[in-house]
């Protein structure tokens, strides 16, 4: 079992149900009356030649504080899959992929674009871990925070379900079209503190997407989701390899 603790200074999320509106939240009570962060508009570089789910990921990341100095951890199961499908179609037609698609087709392309726009030299990590991508991304981000607590860490998770004609072995409930960015800081710097527990999963089929469960957990005043362990009430997501549990402290 792994148990990690971290603080959340702010978070931003987008999902199709909210349309183009992005939801922002700050832990500081002094920022509670702000509908939008006091940041410039998303630069054109973060919008050009980026797929819709990629634009959503960059938009929520750009909204958060300290984007200029935070270490980035990007996590996604499929990445910008629309771009991948475009390149596969081009190869099937015996035509090479376009230079733009090829250069932006790597899994850390969005992290690189954000680093350039924010002039951030703090380094970044991009990972894919199947259905458990959000959980392992949050674990990586927390490990970075523990390693260098003086530096803020930003987790950016984004994913969209595969096209209907593309085969997938994961249950449909494990998919969630969602972009979520978290600004992680040491627990002493915020009132919103979370303990994450991860244990190996014995279930064959994953449950609801972990990122969606975690976002709902963040939005609750009383942590009243399913519990794991006596006296520990929080939120639980069952992945393909791990069971992820979060509780407020």
| pLDDT score for 230 | 37
Closest CA to 195 of 228, 153, 150: 228
Triad 140, 194, 185: Cα angle to 5°: 60
Give the least confident one: 33-42, 59-68, 144-153: 33-42
Q: What pLDDT band is residue 160 in, cutting at 50, 70 and 90?
A: confident
35: left (phi over 0), alpha (psi -120 to 50) or beta: alpha
pLDDT given at position 146: 94
Higher pLDDT, 162 or 10: 10
Task: Return the sign of the alpha-carbon dihedral for residues 194, 188, 138, 197.
Answer: negative
**What would the DSSP string read from start to end of 139-191?**
HHHHHHHHH-TTS-EEEEEEE-PPPTTS--SS-GGG---EEEEEEEE-GGG-S
Average pLDDT over residues 191-198: 91
Per-residue pLDDT at 78 = 85
Comparison of pLDDT for 238 and 166, the residue scoring more: 238
For 135, the token pair is 């959980």
The pLDDT mean for the chain works out to 80
Spatial distance between the Cα atoms of 237 and 115, rounded to a whole number of angstroms: 31
Q: Residue 159: is its pLDDT beyond 80?
A: yes
Percent of the residues in the chain that have a pLDDT greater than 90, as a whole number:
38
Q: What pLDDT, on the 0 to 100 scale, is given for residue 150?
A: 92
Fold of 2-192: Peroxisomal Thiolase; Chain A, domain 1 (3.40.47)
List the chain domain ranges. Answer: 2-192
Q: Please say if the pLDDT value at position 233 is more than 70.
A: no
8 A C-beta contact, residue 174 and residue 207: yes
SS3 at position 6: strand
The answer, yes or no, to whether residue 66 has pLDDT greater than 80, is yes
pLDDT at 75: 96
């Amino acid at each position: 079992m792994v148990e990690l603790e971290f603080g959340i200074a702010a978070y931003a999320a987008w999902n199709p149900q909210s349309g183009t509106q992005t939801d922002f939240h700050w832990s500081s009570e002094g920022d509670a009356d702000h509908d939008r962060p006091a940041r410039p508009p998303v630069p054109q570089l973060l919008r050009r030649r980026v797929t819709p789910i990629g634009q959503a990921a960059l938009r929520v990341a750009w909204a958060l504080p300290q984007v200029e100095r935070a270490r980035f951890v990007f996590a996604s199961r499929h990445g910008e899959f629309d771009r991948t499908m475009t390149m596969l179609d081009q190869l099937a037609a015996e035509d090479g992929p376009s230079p733009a698609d090829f250069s932006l087709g790597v899994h850390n392309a969005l992290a690189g674009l954000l680093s350039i726009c924010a002039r951030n030299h703090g380094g970044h990590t991009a990972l894919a871990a199947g259905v458990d991508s959000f959980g392992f991304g949050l674990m990586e981000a927390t490990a970075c925070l523990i390693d260098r607590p003086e530096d803020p860490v930003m987790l950016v998770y984004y994913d969209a379900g595969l096209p209907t004609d593309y085969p997938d072995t994961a249950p449909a409930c494990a998919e969630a079209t969602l972009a979520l960015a978290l600004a992680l800081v040491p627990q002493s710097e915020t009132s919103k503190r979370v303990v994450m527990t991860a244990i190996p999963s014995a279930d064959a089929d994953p449950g609801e997407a972990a990122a969606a469960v975690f976002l709902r957990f963040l939005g609750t005043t009383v942590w009243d989701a399913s519990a794991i362990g006596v006296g520990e009430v929080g939120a639980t997501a069952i992945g393909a390899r791990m069971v992820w549990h979060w509780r407020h402290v």
